[in-house]
Amino acid sequence: MSNLQQTLSIIKPDAVERSLENEIKEMFKSKGFSILKEKKIQIEKFEAEKFYKVHETKAFYNDLCAYLSSGPILVMVLEKENAVLENRKLMGATNPKDAENGTIREKYGISIEKNSVHGSDSVENAKIEIDFFFKD
């Protein structure tokens, strides 16, 4: 059975700052993801706070929101069979130190916070996150 999905990917400020966008996009394309939409933006801290609201009770929340709004990001809608899980696999573990060889975070992540990419964690959240950035 076909299970074509869309998911939200963000190339975070640490990676945009190091001009890694094209290398990371090539990793997605070589794994069969289609990039349906993309835009480079910089968000305000209050928008980052809204995007990461699920983490608002965490000790790292304030720093995380300051970081995500600290510079340009590339937001993309990716499409592939089982895109949500496939993207999480290609990204690797949240902490780059724990990320498997060949994953984006293993290759490019700097720290548990500056881990180069975001990816939706469920089909439901993918829809919410795609709307967050691309609803007109």
Q: Rounded to a whole number, what is the distance in angstroms from the first to the last CA of the chain?
A: 32
Query: Residue 54 or 136: which CB sits closer to ligand IDP?
Result: 54
Q: How would you class 14 by CB atoms within 10 Å of its CB: exposed for 0-12, middle for 13-18, buried for 19 or more?
A: buried
- Structure tokens belonging to residue 37: 């939409």
Site for Mg ion in 76-135 (CB under 5 A): 121
Query: Residue 112 or 123: which CB sits closer to ligand IDP?
Result: 112
Residue 81 in contact with residue 5, Cβ under 8 Å? yes
118 is catalytic: yes
Number of shown-chain residues binding Mg ion (CB under 5 A): 1
Residues at the site binding ligand IDP, with contacts judged by CB under 6 A: 55, 60, 64, 94, 112-113, 115, 118, 121
Query: Residue 26 or 63: which CB sits closer to Mg ion?
Result: 63
Active site residue ranges: 118
